[in-house]
Amino acid sequence: MTLLGAGVRRNGRWLVRGVDFSVRRGEIVTLIGPNGSGKSTSAKMAIGVLSPDEGRVERQPGFRVGYVPQKLAVDWTMPLTVKRLMTLTMRLSDKEIAAVLDSVGIGHLAGAEVQHLSGGEFQRALLARAIARKPDLLVLDEPVQGVDFAGEIALYDLITSIRNSAGCGILLISHDLHVVMAETDTVICLNGHVCCRGTPAAVSRSPEYMRLFGAAAGRTLAVYSHHHDHTHLPDGRVRHEDGTITDHCHAGDGHHHDHVHGPEGHGHEGHGHEGHVHAHGHAAGGNHGHHHADNGAPVAHAPAAPVSGRIGEKGDV
Ligand SMILES: Nc1ncnc2c1ncn2[C@@H]1O[C@H](COP(=O)(O)OP(=O)(O)OP(=O)(O)O)[C@@H](O)[C@H]1O
């Protein structure tokens, strides 16, 4: 699955623009970015529920998607068992249901009512529903919501084992700007456009992190941090690191790693989190620079000028 310069426009405003990335078989890609930065919108283009208004999405014929949405439109006043949840939108035999629930560690909860599940059990039930479709691409919109820290680690472990056993591509949306799975191959930071991308930091090597959360957390989670040197205010103006506010980005913004490209510097209409930057490939590749995040992770920065080219390679799902 590959997004090429994909953008969605609503009510005269680009929600996201110039989004380029691909997810290959067995690859874990994590989208991060502030609220409203277009993570869900980009994921919806990837799975085909939203069509791009510009650019395109390429998928192989017969491509199947499993999707765990951020919110589920279910009437929670109605009693609903886990087993019934599994068959709301797909036909599965009892044996298939038992097998897929077992595979996510909740085989014993088939008869339980969904509204009584813990946060972690509920996420597992949703995961089971998504993987029952035998997807080529599994898209998980905030898989650890409502889950405590130990539960997060267990869920990330489960996601990794699904990737390893099913071999599907996995697109994760992390609404926590700073934490991504260590197994993530590529982190894509959105801010209305691709801000930057790269491998997650090796937090497992950070003694502070280990001390804080324990060695198990260090093996599973990584802090991917980078620094935005200016912020786009809701009224379209720009607040810089030194606290000054200007109508536009400074000339030269966008040529170092810790930066969010804005619309003003690139001649796009509108205000806020609009912008249009293409970035290609993994950390070290492509036409753009190769920098390091605060914690030493390689980060490829989106180039200031749009570049074109094909991302998709053999092995895409
Ligand atoms: N159908 C729509 N019509 C108009 N605006 C929309 C529509 N869907 C989303 N938006 C807007 O598009 C922007 C991006 O939304 P999106 O849900 O993709 O962000 P997100 O990065 O997933 O955010 P969050 O972390 O808050 O979930 C937001 O400003 C949102 O209000």
- Res 316 pLDDT > 50: no
Task: Report the pLDDT averaged over residues 102-124.
Answer: 93
Query: Across all residues in the chain, what is the average pLDDT?
Result: 72
Closest ligand 1 atom to residue 31 Cα is: 21
Share of the chain above pLDDT 90, in %: 40
Q: Higher confidence at residue 76 or residue 249? A: 76
In testing the pocket of ligand 1, which one of 41, 50, 145 has its CB within 8 Å of the most ligand atoms?
41
Q: Which amino acid is at 276?
A: H
CA of 69 to the centre of ligand 1 (A): 14
Q: Identify whether the C-beta of residue 270 lies closer than 8 Å to the C-beta of residue 286.
A: no
DSSP state of 115: G
Residue 156: both structure tokens together = 């990330």
195, HSE (Cβ side, Cα atoms, 13 Å): 31
- Res 201 pLDDT > 70: no
Per the rule left: phi > 0, alpha: psi between -120 and 50, beta: everything else, 275 is left
Task: Report the pLDDT averaged over residues 159-182.
Answer: 83
CA 310 – CA 92 distance, rounded (Å) = 39
Task: Report the pLDDT averaged over residues 290-305.
Answer: 35
pLDDT at 86: 94
CA of 162 to the centre of ligand 1 (A): 28
Q: Higher confidence at residue 146 or residue 162? A: 162
Protein residue whose Cα sits closest to atom 12 of ligand 1: 15
Per the rule left: phi > 0, alpha: psi between -120 and 50, beta: everything else, 167 is left
143 pocket-lining for ligand 1 (C-beta < 6 Å): no
Residue 133 Cα to chain centre, angstroms: 20
Closest ligand 1 atom to residue 33 Cα is: 21
Sign of the C-alpha dihedral, residues 108, 26, 174, 22?
negative
CATH number for 2-64+135-301 (one of 3.60.21.10, 3.40.50.300, 3.30.390.30, 1.10.3720.10): it is 3.40.50.300
pLDDT at 287: 30
| Reported confidence tier of residue 199, pLDDT bands at 50, 70, 90 | confident
Angle between helices 149-166 and 119-131 (to 10 degrees): 10
191 pocket-lining for ligand 1 (C-beta < 6 Å): no
Residue ranges per structural domain of the chain: 2-64+135-301, 73-134
| Reported confidence tier of residue 248, pLDDT bands at 50, 70, 90 | low
Cβ neighbors of 11 (< 8 A, separation 6 or more) are: none
- Buried b vs exposed e over 134-148: b needs ≥16 C-beta within 10 Å? ebbbbbbbbbbeebe
CA of 274 to the centre of ligand 1 (A): 12
Task: Report the pLDDT averaged over residues 104-123.
Answer: 93
- Res 215 pLDDT > 60: no
- Res 289 pLDDT > 70: no
In testing the pocket of ligand 1, which one of 37, 44, 175, 193 has its CB within 8 Å of the most ligand atoms?
37
Q: Higher confidence at residue 7 or residue 268? A: 7
CA of 50 to the centre of ligand 1 (A): 12
Residue 143: both structure tokens together = 């898989």
Q: Higher confidence at residue 190 or residue 308? A: 190
| Reported confidence tier of residue 246, pLDDT bands at 50, 70, 90 | confident
Share of the chain above pLDDT 70, in %: 63
Q: Higher confidence at residue 86 or residue 262? A: 86
Closest ligand 1 atom to residue 44 Cα is: 18
Residue 48 Cα to chain centre, angstroms: 16
CA 162 – CA 138 distance, rounded (Å) = 10
Task: Report the pLDDT averaged over residues 140-168.
Answer: 86
Closest ligand 1 atom to residue 192 Cα is: 14
Residue 120: both structure tokens together = 């972690």
pLDDT at 257: 31
DSSP state of 253: T
37 pocket-lining for ligand 1 (C-beta < 6 Å): yes
Mapped onto helix, strand or coil, the DSSP state of residue 154 is helix
CA of 91 to the centre of ligand 1 (A): 32
